[in-house]
Amino acid sequence: MVILGAGPAGLVLGNLLQTSGIDCVVLERATRAEVQARSRAGFLAPNTVRILDRHGLAEGLHRHGREHATCEFRTEDGRFRLDYAALGRGERHTVYPQHALVTDLLTRYLDTGGQVRFGTEALTVRDADSTRPTVTARDADGRTGSWRGRYVAGCDGRHGAARRSLPPGAVRRHHLDHGVSWLGLLAEAPPSLDAVGYAVHPRGFAGHMARTPEITRYYLQCERGTSPDAWSEDRIWDELSLRMRAADYGPLHRGPVVHRAVIDLESDVLEPLRHGSLLLAGDAASLLSPSAAKGANLAVLEAEILALALIDDLGHGDPTGLDRYSARCLEHIWRAQEFSRWMVRLLHGAPGPDGESMFQDSLRRSRLASLGSSRSCQDWFAEHYVGV
C-alpha cells in the first residue's frame, strides 16, 4: 500500500493499516520538521476524538487538549454567546493544534515500524486502473524512483500527484469560489476571550480562535490578491481591535505575529473518490472553506472509513467497503460543505452598494438575529457546528 502525504488523513490511515499488519509506505515531500510544524486548524470534533480513541491514537490530545463549547458573535446589532454544549446533541470541541496531532500520529506510526520517506515528492500515479499501480517519485537528491502497491491512497492535497494523475473524464469536479479572502494569523499572545469570536463589521469579518494559553489564531477579511506581508503588525492589531469592537467589549492581548497567510475561501469536491486502485482522502478528496473548521475532521473520518475498507479487502477478500467508500464519504462531505457555505454567508457582508447587495446583507442580519434568539436555530447550529 502506498500512501501519498503525511497529514492527518495519511497518518491515520497508515497507523490503522500498520496495526492490522498491512505493509504500507508514506511518501511525503516535506521534511519531518516541516511536517510537524505545519500550522493548521485545531478544533477537533467529538466524532474525531472518538475515532482516535477507538484506535489508541488519542493519548496526546487527552493529555494536552482542552475542551471548548462557547462561541461569541459580535455584530452591528450587539453581541451574543452560544454555549453549544448545552444545545443540539450536547457535544463540544477539543482544542488541540493540528501540528501536535500530526506529531502524535507520526511518532506512533514510526515507533510501530511504519515507513515514511520524507523529502520524497510523488510526481504521478500510473496504471491506476490495474491491480499494480505505480507511483513515480523524486527524492531530496533529485533521483527518480518508483513505488508499487496493490492500492494507492492519495492524501496529498488538492495540488498533489493523486489529483493530477486522474485521467480526463474520470471524475466530476464541483468547485465554488466564495469570493472572500482571509488574512490568517498566529500571534504569540494569550486568548483575549474565553470563546471562539466571530465579529461581523462593515470593514469585514474578524475571527478569534484560541490555540494554546500562549498562542491565538486570528482571521481578518481582506481584499482578494492581498500579500500576506502587506499589513504591518500595528495595522493588523488596530484592525482586529476595530472589527472586534474592543472599545466596547474589552482590549485584545497583543503580541508578535509569528505566522501569516492569505486564504481564498473556496469549496471543491471530486466525485467519485475512487478510480480503480487510486483512492482519494482529505484535501485531495474535497476542500472546504475554513469557516467551519471541518477539513481535518473530515480527513480523519475518511481515513478510518478507507482503512477499514482496505483491511476487509486485503485481509479478508471482501471488497464491499471499498465499493461503498466514495458514496459513504461524499455523504459526509456534502453535509460539511453545506454548513461551511452557510457560515460564509453568515459572517460576511455582500460587496457593493447596489440593491442586491443590500438585500443579501439584510438577510445576513436576519440569520444572525435568528441565531441569537431562536432555540431551534441554535440547536441546528450546534449539531452541525460540532458534527462531521
Residues involved in catalysis: 68, 198, 290, 294, 385
Q: Which residues of 135-160 are buried (b: 16+ CB within 10 A; e: fewer)?
A: bbbeeeeeeeeebebebbbbbbbeeb
Grid cell, residue 140, equals 531530496
Neighbours of 296 (CB within 10 A): 24
CA geometry: angle 146, 149, 155, nearest 5 deg: 85
Kindly report the backbone phi and psi dihedral angles of residue 294, in degrees, each rounded to the nearest multiple of 5, phi listed first. Answer: -105, -15
Cis peptide before 97 (omega within 30 of 0): no
- Burial (CB count within 10 angstroms: exposed 0-12, middle 13-18, buried 19+), residue 191: buried
> Beta-carbon neighbour count of residue 50 at 10 Å?
12
Other beta carbons less than 10 A from residue 177's beta carbon:
12
Please list, in sequence order, all residues whose beta carbon lies within 8 angstroms of the beta carbon of residue 87, skipping any fewer than 6 positions away: 375, 378, 379, 381, 382, 383
DSSP H or E segment with residue 258: strand 257-271
Length of the chain (residues): 388
Hey, CA dihedral for 193, 383, 274, 20, is it positive or negative? positive
C-alpha span between 119 and 104 (Å, rounded): 20
Which residues, at least 6 apart from 208, have a Cβ–Cβ distance to it below 8 Å?
Answer: 191, 192, 193, 196, 197, 199, 216, 217, 218, 240, 244, 252
Among positive and negative, which fits the CA dihedral 322, 323, 327, 330?
Answer: positive
